[in-house]
């Protein structure tokens, strides 16, 4: 009877748990749908680099996706990773841009988003019901209003749907038809326009052809011949008949464009929504000839586009986001006025092309510029001129170094907060960093030292990522960053450190030293920090029992929340752990520990510990000592991982 009763209780509990799980999952999905509804893009961010503390400005998430960054350690019962950021400021990442806590913005009309303690919460405007026979939505408004006039009286008699209410494809076709009508009306005075154009064309073409020649022999390259008028064509200009000029005039403007008004505007692989056109891997070789003033986002990722002529985007003057990643665009293929029409452009992505220099005359309203994985060979003083509003700049995977980057190159970037220069050839910290910089990524370079003047003017800097370089602890100047009041996160993983560096910033909360050759944690190395270090990651080093002293963690006993000491040479639990009153996560797996000493975790008083996760697997602990009750001060024994163990 007892057995049967026990089985019944077990089945009832299982059923209850499954029901609760199903309800929770359903409510979670409904909540996600409610929060993300109507939201229009990673970024960054996400992303490249193995040890990024924040989700970054890497490739942009698509419209309709919600990108949220929440420190994992904020959830009870969930384990952290090296990429956890303290999250003191509660910032959010949205569309590759870091938003401050309490920031409010509108990614789409009638949609409002809020950054709340690291979470992005978006809501769509709710329109009250209207008890009237006729309604219309005024320009710039979200909700309809009552009207005494019929709906057709609010619109153009020739067009029943306004550009705002029409679908993306309808607006596109409408724009092309409008363009064709203009061309037809222009043919009436063709002779007058022909004479004027013939006169104007000869002089600019000759000047432009001479200005775009190569440095070696003065001849245009193959890319230039595809996008620009060749010198032979200029010489033939004088011998062309009026009929020839009239025929070419009809084709003018097509140069780098694909198709025309008489052809289907986009390949079938493209998708069109209300304000967005996406042509990913659509085999385009030239910029489509699009005429849609309402278009806000244009994605042309993974095509074979090689050039951007001066009039490439004249039909889309209100573009805000332009994604040209993974094409074949060269610097010689970008016209000097290619971006001139894009007065409202805020996000430009040129990753994975063949650029050797930053494109000229970039839109001054840009907030985010990404030119990763190209062949940039220099940053001149004027390369980034006029970009005073730029917040995010990514130039990773190029050929930049201190020898070809001007100390004044970053001077115009007065608003820049995120700078990514990883996977380049820097041997020192770049000079002239903007005072506004908050996050700096220099991973996978050849940096050997950090000078006293490296971060002199960057008083707002919060995150510095320097993993996979060649830094030694004695090449870090004592005054390099010790007095920075906002510097909270430093990543020095995979360098040449033999002990934890001294003179770390007073404000430091997050220190990543994974994959070095560290043998020792000096005493009092964290003693000067206020409010105190919270996250310390020392995995994959050479720490042994003699390298950790009773005062190694002095100054961080009440602040440390996570310590990773896995994959080292420790033979016992380090001393000082029992004094850490805020410790939640401790990793000691993959060491050489043979004996478990209760006082090293619980202390002599055996007081309750706040540890939520303790990893001791893959050591040499005997089976007799393997008991989840070996540390009675830990409240949840399920959080202790003891197996498997090595046999030797």
CA dist., res. 37 & res. 111, Å (int): 9
Provide the CB-side half-sphere exposure for 382 (13 A, CA).
Answer: 2
Q: Are strands 135-136 and 119-124 parallel, antiparallel or unpaired?
A: unpaired
Q: Beta partners for 113? A: 105, 122
Tens of pLDDT, residues 174-190: 444 444 444 444 444 54
Is 75 part of any domain?
yes
pLDDT higher than 90, residue 162? no
Please name which of 604, 530, 522, 520 lies closest in space to residue 570, comparing C-alpha atoms.
Answer: 520
pLDDT at 191: 46
Is 103 part of any domain?
yes
Give 574's DSSP letter: P
Element of type H or E holding 585 = strand 585-587
**In this structure, is the dihedral angle defined by the CA atoms of residues 252, 256, 257 and 262, taken in order, positive or negative?**
positive
Collect all residues with Cβ–Cβ distance below 8 Å to 54 and sequence separation of at least 6. 45, 69, 83, 85, 91, 93, 98, 439, 463
CA dist., res. 596 & res. 577, Å (int): 13
Is 88 part of any domain?
yes
Is 612 part of any domain?
no
Please tell me the pTM assigned to this model. 0.70
Tens of pLDDT, residues 12-25: 444 444 444 443 44
- Give the burial string for 280-293 (b: 16+ CB within 10 Å, else e): bebebebbbbbbbe
Compute the mean pLDDT over every residue in the chain, rounded to the nearest whole number: 75
Tokens encoding 555: 């100054």
The pLDDT confidence band at residue 120, using thresholds 50, 70 and 90, is confident
Tens of pLDDT, residues 248-272: 444 444 445 443 333 346 888 898 8
Residue 52 structural domain: 34-124
Tell me the mean pLDDT in the region 579-586. 93
292/217: higher pLDDT: 292
448/33: higher pLDDT: 448
CA dist., res. 71 & res. 81, Å (int): 10
* Lowest model confidence (mean pLDDT) among 57-61, 350-354, 536-540, 603-607: 57-61
pLDDT higher than 90, residue 359? yes
Query: Could you tell me where the beta strands, DSSP code E, fall in 188-263?
Result: 257-258
CA dist., res. 398 & res. 357, Å (int): 10
Is 382 part of any domain?
no
pLDDT at 31: 37
Tell me the mean pLDDT in the region 321-333. 96
pLDDT at 568: 97
Tell me the mean pLDDT in the region 482-504. 95
pLDDT at 278: 92
| Under 8 Å between Cβ of 374 and 352 | yes
The pLDDT confidence band at residue 460, using thresholds 50, 70 and 90, is very high
The pLDDT confidence band at residue 490, using thresholds 50, 70 and 90, is very high
When divided into structural domains, the chain yields a total of: 1
Is 184 part of any domain?
no
226/618: higher pLDDT: 618
pLDDT higher than 60, residue 26? no
pLDDT at 169: 44
| Under 8 Å between Cβ of 355 and 374 | yes
Tens of pLDDT, residues 43-77: 333 333 344 333 333 333 333 333 222 233 333 45
CA dist., res. 157 & res. 406, Å (int): 58
529-to-484, 501, 535 alpha-carbon distances in Å: 11, 13, 13
Share of the chain above pLDDT 90, in %: 48
Is 211 part of any domain?
no
SS3 194: helix
The pLDDT confidence band at residue 112, using thresholds 50, 70 and 90, is confident
Tell me the mean pLDDT in the region 346-362. 95
pLDDT higher than 50, residue 37? no
Is 589 part of any domain?
no
pLDDT at 628: 66
Q: Phi and psi (nearest 5°) for 36?
A: -90, 0
Tens of pLDDT, residues 133-161: 777 777 656 777 777 665 555 444 444 43
pLDDT at 476: 95
Give 480's DSSP letter: S
Tens of pLDDT, residues 260-312: 333 346 888 898 887 899 999 999 999 998 888 999 999 999 999 999 999 89
């Amino acid at each position: 009877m007892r057995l049967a009763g026990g089985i019944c209780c077990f089945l009832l509990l299982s059923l209850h748990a499954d029901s609760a799980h199903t309800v929770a999952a359903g409510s979670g999905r409904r909540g996600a749908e409610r929060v993300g509804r109507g939201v229009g893009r990673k970024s960054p961010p996400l992303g490249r680099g193995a040890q990024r503390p924040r989700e970054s400005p890497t490739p942009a998430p698509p419209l309709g996706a919600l990108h949220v960054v929440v420190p994992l350690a904020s959830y009870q019962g969930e384990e952290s990773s090296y990429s956890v950021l303290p999250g003191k400021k509660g910032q959010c990442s949205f569309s590759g841009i870091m938003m401050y806590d309490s920031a409010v913005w509108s990614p789409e009309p009638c949609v409002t988003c809020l950054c709340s303690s690291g979470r992005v919460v978006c809501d769509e405007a709710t329109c009250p019901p209207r008890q009237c026979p006729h309604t219309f939505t005024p320009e710039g408004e979200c909700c309809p209003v009552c009207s005494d006039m019929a709906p057709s009286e609010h619109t153009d008699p020739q067009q029943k749907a306004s550009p705002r209410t029409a679908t993306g494809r309808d607006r596109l076709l409408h724009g092309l038809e409008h363009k064709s009508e203009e061309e037809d009306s222009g043919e009436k005075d063709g002779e007058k326009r022909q004479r004027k154009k013939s006169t104007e064309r000869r002089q600019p073409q000759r000047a432009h052809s001479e200005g775009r020649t190569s440095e070696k022999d003065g001849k245009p390259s193959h890319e230039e011949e595809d996008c620009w008028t060749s010198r032979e064509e200029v010489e033939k200009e004088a011998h062309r008949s009026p009929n020839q000029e009239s025929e070419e005039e009809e084709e003018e403007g097509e140069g780098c464009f694909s198709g025309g008004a008489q052809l289907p505007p986009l390949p079938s692989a493209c998708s069109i929504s209300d304000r967005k056109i996406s042509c990913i891997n659509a085999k385009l070789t030239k910029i489509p000839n699009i005429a849609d003033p309402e278009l806000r986002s244009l994605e042309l990722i993974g095509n074979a586009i090689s050039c951007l002529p001066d009039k490439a985007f004249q039909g889309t003057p209100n573009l805000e986001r332009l994604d040209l990643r993974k094409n074949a665009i060269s610097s010689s293929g970008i016209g000097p006025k290619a971006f001139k029409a894009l007065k409202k452009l805020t996000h430009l992505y040129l990753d994975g092309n063949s650029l050797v220099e930053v494109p000229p005359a970039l839109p001054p309203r840009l907030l985010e510029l990404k030119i990763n994985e190209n062949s940039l060979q220099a940053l001149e003083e004027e390369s980034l001129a006029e970009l005073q509003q730029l917040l995010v700049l990514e130039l990773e995977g190029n050929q930049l170094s201190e020898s070809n980057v001007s100390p004044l190159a970053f001077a115009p970037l007065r608003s820049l907060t995120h700078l990514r220069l990883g996977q380049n050839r820097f041997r020192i910290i770049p000079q002239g960093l903007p005072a506004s910089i908050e996050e700096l990524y220099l991973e996978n370079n050849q940096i050997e030292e950090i000078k006293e003047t490296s971060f002199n003017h960057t008083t707002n800097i919060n995150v510095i990522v320097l993993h996979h370089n060649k830094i030694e602890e004695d090449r870090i100047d004592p005054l390099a960053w010790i007095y920075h009041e906002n510097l909270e996160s430093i990543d020095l993983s995979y360098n040449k450190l033999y002990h934890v560096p001294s003179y770390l910033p007073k404000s430091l909360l997050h220190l990543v030293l994974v994959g070095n050759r560290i043998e020792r944690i000096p005493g009092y190395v964290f003693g000067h920090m206020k409010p105190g270090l919270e996250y310390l990651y020392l995995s994959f080093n050479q720490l042994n029992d003699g390298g950790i002293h009773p005062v190694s963690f002095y100054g961080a006993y009440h602040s440390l929340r996570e310590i990773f000491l896995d994959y080292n040479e420790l033979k016992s639990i380090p001393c000082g752990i029992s004094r850490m009153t805020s410790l939640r996560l401790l990793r000691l797996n993959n060491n050489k520990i043979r004996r478990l000493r209760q006082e090293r975790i619980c202390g002599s008083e055996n007081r309750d510990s706040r540890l939520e996760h303790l990893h001791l697997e893959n050591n040499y602990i005997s089976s007799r000592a393997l008991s989840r009750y070996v540390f009675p001060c830990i409240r949840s024994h399920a959080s202790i991982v003891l197996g498997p163990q090595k046999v030797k």
